[in-house]
Structure 1
Amino acid sequence: MQRRAAIISVVFFLVIGAGAYSLIATASTPAVSFENPEYSLAQGDEFSVPDSDQAFNVSSITEEEESGGHGGGTTLVRSGEITYVNESSRFTESWDNASTVTLDGTDYRIEIENVSDPSEATLVELRNDTAILQNDPNADNETVTRDGERYVVVNDSTLVPAEEYFPANETRTIAEGDSFSYNNESVTVAAVESSGVTIEWFAAEEKTITVDNEANVTVGGQQYLAYFPDGETLVLTQNYNSYEAQVHSIEEFHLFENGLWGVVIVAFTTVVLLAGMAFMPSRY
């Protein structure tokens, strides 16, 4: 009688456990999807956004496996990059006081007057005396010093004072707002300070926007939710309500699924215990 009751109970729990497991096995995990998103893009696609005449390009879409560590398995991580060209990016360069800068093939030393609020800087040519001597067939390649004075030896014997032989150092004065050519760019003096000079210029520059999965991204002043349904597609949408509702449904599904796994575990554990107890030898 005891064994018969145990067998009935075993069958009962087997049916419950099998039913719960069949629900788990046949259920499909819901995934986020959007109907008519603002953009559904592949790598290489070009697009524009409202209120902006800027062209954007999906330069890359990547899908990589990342290890969870400590035996946690791997996770697919999707991301991408959007690039665009800013035609008027601002570039700056600083020239420290007493440093050297090359303009039009000539080296200059930056000299700024030691005052609290300088208004200009002087560029003093760094004359290449050695090159001048080497280019003069009538002069020795090195200067000589006599009685503390520096001379150039010309025609093997004539001593010409260096300050007379060499041309005067060229000087240039620059102030805030002045423009000139530098490294094939038209630059403007943005600031003159006691510590140095800052120049600026504007030119085209390619910029990159990093896009993470299920994260906000701002493109052309517009904010979108970025979603990668697969390793080849980038979806940009502003339908946040739909996304939040779908995420909530997925969380409820996993909660229900975990509950079913609990039923399976309890049911089959009970079956094992009942079966063991039913066939234990009687003491009488």
Structure 2
Amino acid sequence: MQRRAAAVYIVFFVVVAIAAYSLTTVAEEPSVSVEGQNYTQGDTLDVEGQAWMVNVSDGSGQLSRVNESVRFTASFANNSTLLFQNGTYRSVPNGSGGGGAAGTTGPATTSAATTTGGSATTPGANATTAPSGGDTNDSAGTRFRVVIANATEGNASAGNASAGNASANASSGNASGGNASAGNASGGNAAAVNVSSFTLRESFDVTQRLQADSDVADTLLSTVNGTQYVRYRNGTTQQLDEYLPTPETRNVSVGDSFPYQNNSTSVAGVNTSGVSLAWEGTRNESVELAAGENVTVGNTTYVAQYGADNSTVTLSRDVAGYQAELADQAEFHDRILGLWGIAVISILAAILIAGLAYLPVRG
């Protein structure tokens, strides 16, 4: 009787296993279809008045275009140095405001330039870095230091920071006579300075000049009471400030042209912390097309799907419908895995019952 009951259970589990396996073989996987426009290599996709070229190869691709109206910006910090190559400016008496660029050719290299609005690989948007101290000269240009009035070292210098009748006179780079509490120049700092121009002051490579001067004994500077001296081979000395030539100064205002990386660049703004430049340029833009993934072009979102030959790509705007079909397909796979689990467990159960039923009985 025990073996007869075991046989019934064995048959039951075998039937269940066969039924589950049969369902896995006859079930049809739901397809994922994308209704949209088909594109091949070299076709053009027009989106919001912009033409994108389609590049397709071996099941991968991208959209590309040349943006010809990109606004790039760069900034120079106060007290940073610039290397001008063949740049000329109108001279401004006493370094006053109002001067502008007479003409510029060639790039300017800066140690404190930061470029935004474009990638670092964009032609014409890169800055060549150099030591910020201004101690490196180039035969093709002259180094200048950016000096913004009333902003050097955060002190109200080279003038008065006043508001109404309250003023703070600059003495030795600091606001003398305490703080101007009613003049918006507290703590000796120019708190609200309206700056519209900056000065470029020539910066010298002292070490290189001394090495090139045969009359100088060595390149070391003797310092006496904080004053640097140059020692000549004949034993005489001279203050370093007197040894160096008078530095050239150039004044630049907002809106003036500026020689920067061969671009048609202008000064966009000046504040107490630095100078900002702006120019128009071109930039290559591209968007990758990954199979089954969303891609946004302009304000339009597409889903990409490649053809069987991997030489065409279909772009569809029905992103929600595509995601729903993917969900149905994932659910189908889950059900198939469940049926396989039922078949395997049923076979194992039948084997186990058969083994237990035919164990030898003692006595």
Q: TM-score, normalised by structure 1?
A: 0.69
SS in 1 for 2:46: coil
Is 1:54 aligned to residue 35 of structure 2? no
Separation (CA, whole Å) in 2 of partners of 1:251 and 1:149: 79
On the 8 A contact 1:110/1:124 being kept in 2, the answer is yes
* Structure 1 counterpart of 2:22, one-letter code: S
Report what 1:107 is aligned to: 143
Is 1:23 aligned to residue 28 of structure 2? no
Spell out, residue by residue over 1:87-133, the C-alpha distance to the aligned partner (whole angstroms, 9 max, x if none). 22222222222221122222211111115221100112336789899
Correspondence list, 1:46-195, <5 A: 46-58=43-55, 81-104=62-85, 105-114=141-150, 115=190, 116-126=193-203, 142=216, 168-195=246-273
My pick for the range that moved more, 109-118 or 122-131, is: 122-131
Report what 2:107 is aligned to: none
Higher strand proportion: 1
Report what 2:34 is aligned to: 34
Q: How far off its partner does 1:185 sit?
A: 1.1
SS in 2 for 1:34: coil
Spell out, residue by residue over 1:214-234, the C-alpha distance to the aligned partner (whole angstroms, 9 max, x if none). 333211331112345679464
Separation (CA, whole Å) in 1 of partners of 2:25 and 2:295: 37
Q: How far off its partner does 1:207 sit?
A: 2.8
1:189 to 1:273, Cα distance in 2 relative to 1, 3 A: same
Correspondence list, 1:217-256, <5 A: 217-227=295-305, 232=310, 234-256=313-335
Report what 1:276 is aligned to: 355
SS in 2 for 1:265: helix
Report what 1:68 is aligned to: none
1:215 aligned to which of 287, 293, 303: 293
Q: How far off its partner does 1:210 sit?
A: 4.5
On the 8 A contact 2:45/2:51 being kept in 1, the answer is yes
Separation (CA, whole Å) in 2 of partners of 1:55 and 1:240: 20
Q: How far off its partner does 1:279 sit?
A: 1.4
1:282 to 1:122, Cα distance in 2 relative to 1, 3 A: same
1:245 to 1:100, Cα distance in 2 relative to 1, 3 A: closer
1:180 to 1:143, Cα distance in 2 relative to 1, 3 A: farther
SS in 1 for 2:47: coil
Q: Which runs of 5+ in 2 are unaligned?
A: 86-140, 151-189, 222-226
On the 8 A contact 1:125/1:170 being kept in 2, the answer is yes
Q: Which runs of 5+ in 1 are unaligned?
A: 63-78
On the 8 A contact 1:38/1:238 being kept in 2, the answer is no
Separation (CA, whole Å) in 2 of partners of 1:167 and 1:59: 63
Report what 2:338 is aligned to: 259
Q: Give the share of equivalent positions with the same residue, in percent.
A: 35
Separation (CA, whole Å) in 2 of partners of 1:150 and 1:279: 111
1:177 to 1:15, Cα distance in 2 relative to 1, 3 A: same
Separation (CA, whole Å) in 2 of partners of 1:218 and 1:202: 25
Spell out, residue by residue over 1:145-191, the C-alpha distance to the aligned partner (whole angstroms, 9 max, x if none). 9xx9999x9xx9xxxx9999987533221111112332211111011
Q: How far off its partner does 1:246 sit?
A: 1.4
* Structure 1 counterpart of 2:47, one-letter code: P
